[in-house]
Structure 1
C-alpha cells in the first residue's frame, strides 16, 4: 500500500464512488469513441429549466445579488419554501425551521452528520437511492437495509419496519416517490408506518420528497408529517428544485424540520460550504413562487413514456416490470434471467453481468440493482425522448430473447 493511500481517513474508506455516476461516465467515454450507445443511467430530467426561472437568475446577477447570504438560505427563499410547504403539503414552518443546502444530497449529509454517532442505526428501505447508505456509513452509523421486493411493489411493509427498529435506531429514511423504483406510499400506507413509529418515539424520520411533483397516482401526493401530524416534531421533510423544476445543476435542496435540528445543520454548513449560490437561491425563489402549471404538462409526458417503457419491458422475455406511481424510473425484476447464457457462452450470474451484457451486446446502458441494494434488477431512467426509449427497449427485448 502506498503512503498516499495510507493517509486517507477512515471515514473516506467507508464510502465508495456513486455507481450511477460511474455508468454515466462510461457512457460518455463510449460515445466519445463513436459507439451508438443509449444511456439510460442518469437521473436527470431532459426538460430545460423554465425560462422564468432563468430570467430571475439573470435579474439577480444584474441587481448585484452576488454576495454572501445567510448560511442556510436567504429570507426570501425561506419564505418561498414556507409558502410551498403550506400550499402543497399543508405543513406550517417558520424561518428558523427551514434549511437551504447545496442540493438534496447536502441536506441529507448535514442532517445525518449532525445527529449520528458510531453505534447508531439508520433504517433504509431497499431499493434505495445509492447515496443513502454511504452517507450513513460516513457518519460512523450503521445502515440497516429493509428489502421491499417487486411482489410488494417495492414498498416497505409496517411489519418490516417494526422488526428493523432497535434501541439503537436513530433515523428512518423514507423516499416517496422512490429513486430507483418510482414506488410511492399512499396515504393509508404512510398512516400504517406512522402507527409503528408512534411506538418508538426515539426514531426520527427523514422523508425525501424530491420527486413529489413527478406523480401519476390518482390520489394526491402526501408526506408523512402531513398524514401523521403527531410525528411533525420528529420529521425532517426534504425536497428540492432539481427534479420538478429541471434545476439539477443549480444545486438547491431544502427541508423543514424541528428548530434544534435546523440550527445544528446550519452550524455544520457554516464550517463546510457556507451559503448555497446566491444566484441559484434567487432562481429557486422564482421557481417556488412562480407559475406551476408547466408541472402537469411535463408529468403527462413522463407518464406517457412510463406506460410505453413498462409495456415494452414486460414484453421482454424474463423481465417483470411493476408500474411506478412517480419519478421517472422503472426497476424491472430480472430474476428469471439469472443462470441464462449469452450467445457467446457467458453465464448471467448477477444483475451486474446482465447490465454488462446489455451494454456490450445491444449498447444500452442501465444501472444494476446491486447499486440500489435489491437484486437481481436494474434501473432505467425514462427522462429522454420517446423515440430513444422505444429503440432502447427494442434492443433490450432483443438481448433478452437471445439468452438461452
Structure 2
C-alpha cells in the first residue's frame, strides 16, 4: 500500500502565476508580463550593508523575533509615516518575507472549521494557507463595486464561524486602494465583531493617488489587528526575504513561537540590510513610483485604445482588464495569447473564480518590454 501524505498538500495546486511564468521555457521569445517583481536594483546603500554584514561574519542566528535594531527601525517607520506605534520588543516579529508572516499568523489564529473572509479577486497565496489550517475561505465579491470591498457585503458575510478577515490594499491583482471614507465604514463594521483582522499592506509604499490609509491607524481595532508588511516591493528586495508582522502583545508571543519553529529567524545579513533600507532609504519607493506611474499610464492608455474595459489602478504595479467580451475563459485566453500572441499574462481565474473574465498584467517591467508587449497584444486582439 502506498504511504499517504497530507490530503491538503495533495489538493494544493501550483499558483496560476507560476504556471504561466513556467510556460515561458517553451516560448523563449514571448514577452513576460506575469511576475510582480520590481525591475529596479536594490539600493546601493542597502547592498553595501548586506555585504558589510557578511564581511563582518554577521552570518549566524539572530533573536527569533529579529534584531532589536531592525524591529526598532520598523516601529519608527510606521510611527513617522503613519502615526501609530508598535512596541519593538513585544509587538513586532521579523519574518522570511511577508509570505511567511502571513503563514505564521494564520497558523497561530486558525483552527479547523473556522472561516476567513477574503475580498476577491485576491492574491492567490492566502487561500491555500487557510485551507491547510483546516479553515474555510469565504469570498467577498468586489467585481461590481470597483474592486473595493462593500462594508454592507462584508457585514452580511460575518457569521459565528468567522475567525478573521484579510485585506490586501493596494491590491494584487487589481491595483486598487481604499479611500479613507470607505475605510472608516469598514472599520465601523469590524469593530462590532470579535474577529481578527489581517491587513497585508506590502504595497503601501507603491500608492500613486492620495495617501495610503493603514488599518493600523484605527485604535478601535488594534487589539485584534495583524499588520503584514515587508521590503520586497518598496525597496526591490524580493530575494532578501525580509517581512514583518505587527500585532497585539498577547497574540504576538504565539506568532513568535510558530515563526521560530518554522524558520528560527530571518537571514541575518538581510536584516542588517533592512535596517539601512528603513532608516536611510525611505525615499526609494517614491523614486520608483515616478517610473511606475509612467508605465501604468502607458499600459492603461494602450488597453483603452484597444477597446478593453479596464479600471485605472492607483497602487501596486498591476492592471486587471476584462477580456470577457471575447467569449473565452481567462485560462484559455491567456494560453492562446501566449502561444499565438507571444505575450505571457496571468489569467484572472488564478485569483479565485471571481477573477474569471479578467487578465492580470504586471507593469513592473521596463518601458521597451511593455511597449513590445502592448504591440503584440493589440495585434493578437485584431483577430477577434
Task: State the TM bucket, normalised to the shorter chain.
Answer: over 0.9
Residue of structure 1 equivalent to 2:356: 375
- Distance in structure 1 (CA, Å) of the matches to 2:127 and 2:304: 30
Residue of structure 2 equivalent to 1:222: 213
Unaligned runs of 5+ in 2: none
Residue of structure 1 equivalent to 2:100: 106
C-alpha deviations, 1:128-185, integer Å up to 9, x for none? 0011111111111001011111x42211111110111111111110001001110100
Change (3 A) 1:54 1:191: same
- Distance in structure 1 (CA, Å) of the matches to 2:263 and 2:282: 30
Residue of structure 2 equivalent to 1:133: 127
Map residues 225-374 of structure 1 onto 2, 5 A cutoff. Answer: 225-226=216-217, 228-317=218-307, 319-338=308-327, 348=328, 350-373=329-352, 374=355
Q: Is the 8 A contact 1:176 1:208 kept in 2?
A: yes
Residue of structure 1 equivalent to 2:118: 124
Residue 197 (structure 2) pairs with residue 197 (structure 1):
no
Residue 83 (structure 2) pairs with residue 86 (structure 1):
no
Superposition deviation, residue 396 in structure 1: 1.2
Residue 22 (structure 2) pairs with residue 25 (structure 1):
yes
Change (3 A) 1:266 1:388: same
Superposition deviation, residue 367 in structure 1: 0.5
Determine which structure has greater relative contact order: mean sequence separation of CA pairs < 8 Å that are 6+ residues apart, divided by chain length.
2
Q: Is the 8 A contact 1:14 1:134 kept in 2?
A: no
- Distance in structure 1 (CA, Å) of the matches to 2:339 and 2:26: 14
- Distance in structure 1 (CA, Å) of the matches to 2:272 and 2:26: 35
- Distance in structure 1 (CA, Å) of the matches to 2:382 and 2:242: 43
SS where residue 171 of structure 1 aligns? strand
Q: Is the 8 A contact 1:364 1:395 kept in 2?
A: yes
Unaligned runs of 5+ in 1: 339-347
- Distance in structure 2 (CA, Å) of the matches to 1:139 and 1:253: 21
- Distance in structure 2 (CA, Å) of the matches to 1:108 and 1:310: 31
SS where residue 354 of structure 1 aligns? helix
Residue of structure 2 equivalent to 1:342: none
Q: Is the 8 A contact 2:203 2:315 kept in 1?
A: yes
Q: 1:72 aligns with which of 59, 65, 72?
A: 65
Say what the alpha-carbon RMSD is for the aligned residues.
Answer: 1.2
When structure 1 is superposed on structure 2, of 56-65 and 97-106 the one drifting more is: 56-65
Number of residue-to-residue matches in the alignment = 381
Residue 4 (structure 2) pairs with residue 7 (structure 1):
yes
- Distance in structure 1 (CA, Å) of the matches to 2:221 and 2:278: 25
Q: Is the 8 A contact 1:15 1:135 kept in 2?
A: no
SS where residue 172 of structure 2 aligns? coil
Superposition deviation, residue 293 in structure 1: 2.2
Superposition deviation, residue 225 in structure 1: 2.4
Task: Using structure 1 for the length normalisation, give the TM-score.
Answer: 0.92
Map residues 149-228 of structure 1 onto 2, 5 A cutoff. Answer: 149=143, 151-200=144-193, 202-217=194-209, 219-226=210-217, 228=218
Superposition deviation, residue 390 in structure 1: 1.5
Superposition deviation, residue 260 in structure 1: 2.1
- Distance in structure 1 (CA, Å) of the matches to 2:227 and 2:168: 10
- Distance in structure 2 (CA, Å) of the matches to 1:324 and 1:267: 38
SS where residue 383 of structure 1 aligns? coil
- Distance in structure 1 (CA, Å) of the matches to 2:205 and 2:92: 20
- Distance in structure 2 (CA, Å) of the matches to 1:240 and 1:330: 22
When structure 1 is superposed on structure 2, of 81-90 and 14-23 the one drifting more is: 14-23
Superposition deviation, residue 57 in structure 1: 0.6
Q: Is the 8 A contact 1:315 1:397 kept in 2?
A: no
Moved runs in structure 1, 4+ residues, more than 3 A? none
- Distance in structure 2 (CA, Å) of the matches to 1:10 and 1:336: 38
- Distance in structure 1 (CA, Å) of the matches to 2:254 and 2:282: 32
